[in-house]
Structure 1
């Protein structure tokens, strides 16, 4: 009974790894590719700092899926792992995987931080939410990740296990650096630190959004009062213009003035017109600001939703890492090892949730992104249809010309 259970669990772990990793790889490539296309083509999002962070995270996610994830999770299911046969790829895989993971995780953290800054009621904090600062922070993140990942190229080697006779790409040349990666980088730099940043800024952003929601309710009341006052002012101005014109006419045509033309006519009319023009200018500014606020609101929903899924993946990844560290020296039975393989397979794949489903998350929470995506599909179908019709129209002409040439011969 125990042997059959172990075989069943091992087979279940293998099948889960094959199907889940294949699903994640295919849909992850589609997701990150479409994210890059959308953020590059959408001008409304391009001027927002959060889109800079999301674009950088999408690019790093695409690189990660097609390098580290491809050879670490996907290809080993088909008994093909280039990192165990090529020393160059062994070093590059670890380097590129670590580099892209750092950029992805911390760009999502900076995007969540930008939501806190952009929704803050303090002007001084909102001034830090700019595209210029976002580009600088992304550049610094890339520079740090680039330098921090260099030792992986130096110390990673292909090692043959003396117990299982299985080749693996691991850190073998430096015990201090291996302990640094095992006990600090993996659980903290790639796990606890970015998760902590995302959770903290998510809570702070939520508090700011509640404040903005209450302020928006007051703004709606103010908007209605503005419409009421503007409508009444319009009709009063019409009446005052008629009254002033009549008064001036009486002044010109008679020598006796029955009522003052300035105090009851020109002065209030002039004040109403001046303040109406100024109010109109303010309303235009508020309307433009409201359009930017709508974009910011959608980006907030996009970043918050993706952060939620990234946190789920990071919690699974961190829990798996801590469990492996705690139970490294524990003597385990074959049944426990089989049970752990199933659990670690699921958590190992779930760790990539934030990398894979970002586009589908954005489409679900952002009406603007859905609209733009539909427009891109329509343009693509229109282009394909026109290209197909053009080819069908030109092809018979060529055939006829060829037939005529053959007949002439």
Structure 2
């Protein structure tokens, strides 16, 4: 009798930890994610970034991030307060999982494309560098959205509402989904990101080596700096974006690793009988792993703030210059406080 009481007490403790961890973890991600995504949009829509193909992929990834934060995470927050739409409605069950799966893959794809773009930009082969153009990114961005929207349709048929729970419909589909998701998210995308990242770093080193051995190139850069500062700034933005993307790849791999390990474990043991204690521990591990995965979609802005001096500078200028007030008055100054002072020609 005492053993049963101890087990019940242990299960209650585990469930409480899981609920609180999920609730407050998701709340923090929800708040920081929305703030970061909106500030990301404000900075990346500035002229210096809008002309860059790499930043267009990063900007495109903000939309699926916002959908994940405001649909998937919001549903999960409500579930911790016993307001679970996915367990009460077949539509919300399938809709939430479809958005979660398709937008997660789409966001990661855009970051992968940003990495490929940096690889092409740093290549010594002209035909490869042609890929790093706005014209190309404007074609690929909607194409990627259409592809993942169609590929993810299988989630609508595989996800079911069984006994008041929104779960994978059968063991066979669960095995398929876990293997497919693990291979795609845990192997294919990280390997491609890492591969293109390493090759890009090699390209940058080769370019720097060539510059160091060619005095004429150095002389040209000095002249350009004096006569064409915008060209130098563009190059600087290119390399800042490269570093931002590489750090984001590292964070992606680090935060996805626990989820991949958990998916492999669940797939291997899916037909094994498990005790209530084992199931409770697995659910807690899944909650922790999933929260780590979701942080990918709210940390983009904060990664850029930490890794890019230019990004911080642009954000500071954006906030201090009160662009919204300027647009309201339409003449670049506030009539209540007089004309705005000139700040070294920066508008």
TM-score w.r.t. length of structure 1: 0.71
Report SS of the residue matched to 1:351: helix
Alignment map for 1:1-400 (pairs within 5 Å): 3=7, 5-40=10-45, 42-71=46-75, 73-160=76-163, 167-172=164-169, 179-184=175-180, 186-218=181-213, 223=218, 284=227, 288-380=230-322, 383=325
Report SS of the residue matched to 1:205: helix
Report SS of the residue matched to 2:321: helix
Distance 2:225 2:27 in 1: 54
Distance 2:221 2:234 in 1: 21
Distance 1:329 1:135, change over 3 A: same
More helix by share: 1
Alpha-carbon offset, residue 381 of structure 1: 9.4
Distance 1:120 1:302 in 2: 18
Tell which structure's C-alpha radius of gyration is larger: 1
Distance 2:221 2:299 in 1: 44
Give the gaps of 5 or more residues in structure 2: 337-347
Distance 2:65 2:221 in 1: 48
Give the gaps of 5 or more residues in structure 1: 161-166, 228-279, 392-409
Contact 1:64/1:100, CA 8 A, preserved across alignment: yes
Distance 1:133 1:382 in 2: 31
Alignment length, in residue pairs?
326
Contact 2:225/2:232, CA 8 A, preserved across alignment: no
Residues 16-55 of structure 1, C-alpha deviation per residue, up to 9 Å, x if partnerless? 2222121112111111121122212x11111111111101
Distance 1:319 1:67, change over 3 A: same
Alpha-carbon offset, residue 145 of structure 1: 1.0
TM-score w.r.t. length of structure 2: 0.83
Distance 1:281 1:200 in 2: 33
Distance 1:304 1:188 in 2: 21
Distance 1:224 1:70, change over 3 A: same
